[in-house]
């Protein structure tokens, strides 16, 4: 029998190594099974798998002697490890509360003017007369000799009507955007739903230049996977609208609402960002000139409409780790393919029928 030959082997955690021996393996002994695992694949093949950082020795007996392996298992190189990719499912909802109140007396805005008409009976009779639509034909302003059944009318017919208004409305919510973002752990992902405003400016050479300022719904999300598996997410949310009341040289200003949040959740859990509110109010007055100043009765000739709209943006964010799932699936496929390949090498009758 040959003497033991010492061989040094270096593995990383999770790394596999296969050794071919000259003869069939009869027995394998592992000093520290918590560091390295040894398996016999074929009759003369030895598989070593790094489990945890540390040192161990392995003795292998075969037909012509035995071998001794000194195995060192090191931690996986973080630089070569795959960086997890985090998927962010974002839903931007707008909850709009629109209140419209219309109270008061609204008078008719058009009044009939002077009227001049000649009325005549098309078919005479004692029971049916021509319709005069409320115009008093007796007495006439002028005495004109006309055939019997004909009348002349000239006068001023006033007809003023009003409507009572009591109206209230409320709005609902709607989905503004639902993007799905992906970024590596520790990097940022950005999203914009809006536009850009041109801003003229002077460059270093003194010439006029144009810069663009973004407005709308802007999200900057920086997720990071922690050691315990949770995902720490830093979110910066900005909602801006054009404001024509504050403009310079015809360029409108921006009304901006901004929040910054840092949340740690488990993969698949959702968190909510709210509080991005805006409010708009509109007043309209309608009144009969001069009549609204009448004491006590002035309210009968006045109508007011007040519209108030409150809007709140609510953002739902759900982070998930996708790299681990893809990497585990790839490892399973490679492991199954490797096992199938090694099983094909085993001289067993009928094995090729199943593989």
Contact assessment for residue 113 and residue 191, using Cβ atoms and an 8 Å cutoff: no
Q: Give tens-digit pLDDT for 279-322.
A: 766 666 666 666 656 665 555 566 666 666 677 788 889 998 87
Q: Rounded to an integer, what distance in angstroms lies between the CA atom of residue 99 and that of residue 104?
A: 17
Write out the chain's pLDDT in tens, 355 residues: 445 556 788 888 878 888 888 788 888 889 888 888 888 877 888 888 888 888 898 888 887 778 888 888 887 655 455 678 898 999 888 877 654 445 554 555 555 666 666 666 555 555 545 454 444 544 444 445 566 666 666 665 555 444 444 544 455 677 888 888 988 888 999 998 888 888 777 777 878 788 888 888 889 999 999 988 899 999 998 888 777 667 777 777 777 888 898 999 998 888 988 877 777 666 666 666 666 566 655 555 666 666 666 777 888 899 988 755 555 666 666 767 777 777 677 665 554 444 4
Query: CATH 2.60.40.10 in the chain, residues?
Result: 2-80
pLDDT of amino acid 353: 45
Contact assessment for residue 312 and residue 274, using Cβ atoms and an 8 Å cutoff: yes
pLDDT of amino acid 297: 59
pLDDT of amino acid 235: 92
Contact assessment for residue 16 and residue 38, using Cβ atoms and an 8 Å cutoff: no
CATH 3.40.50.170 correct for 2-80: no
CA-to-CA separations, 19 to 43, 60, 327, 331, in angstroms, rounded: 11, 11, 26, 21
């Amino acid at each position: 029998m040959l003497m033991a030959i010492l061989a040094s082997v270096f593995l990383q955690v999770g790394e596999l190594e296969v050794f071919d021996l000259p003869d069939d393996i009869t027995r394998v002994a592992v000093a520290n099974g918590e560091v390295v695992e040894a398996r016999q694949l074929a009759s003369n093949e030895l598989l070593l798998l790094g489990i945890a950082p540390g040192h161990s020795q392995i003795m292998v007996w075969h037909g012509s002697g035995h071998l001794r392996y000194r195995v060192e298992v090191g931690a996986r190189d973080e630089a070569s490890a795959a960086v997890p990719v985090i998927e962010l499912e974002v839903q931007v909802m707008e909850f709009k509360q629109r209140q419209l109140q219309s109270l008061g007396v609204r008078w008719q805005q058009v009044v009939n003017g002077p009227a001049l008409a000649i009325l005549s009976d098309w078919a005479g009779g004692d029971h049916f007369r021509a319709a005069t639509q409320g115009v008093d034909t007796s007495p006439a302003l002028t005495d004109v000799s006309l055939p019997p059944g004909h009348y002349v009318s000239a006068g001023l017919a006033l007809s003023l009507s009003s409507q009572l208004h009591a109206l209230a409305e409320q709005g609902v919510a709607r989905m503004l955007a639902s993007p799905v973002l992906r970024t590596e752990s520790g990097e940022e992902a950005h999203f914009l739903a809006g536009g850009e405003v041109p801003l003229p400016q002077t460059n270093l050479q003194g010439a006029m230049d144009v810069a663009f300022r973004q407005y709308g719904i802007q999200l900057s999300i920086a997720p990071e996977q922690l050691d315990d598996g949770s995902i720490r997410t830093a979110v910066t949310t900005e909602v801006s609208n054009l404001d024509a009341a504050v403009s310079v040289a015809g360029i409108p200003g921006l009304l901006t609402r901004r929040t910054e949040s840092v949340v740690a959740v488990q993969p698949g859990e959702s968190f909510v960002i709210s509080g991005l509110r805006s409010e708009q109010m509109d007043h309209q007055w309608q009144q009969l000139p001069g009549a609204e100043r009448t004491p006590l009765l002035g309210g009968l000739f006045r109508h007011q409409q007040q519209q108030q709209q409150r809007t709140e943006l609510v953002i739902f964010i759900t982070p998930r780790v996708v790299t681990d799932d893809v990497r585990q699936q790839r490892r399973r496929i490679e492991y199954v393919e490797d096992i199938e390949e090694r099983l094909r090498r085993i001289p067993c009758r009928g094995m090729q029928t199943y593989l």
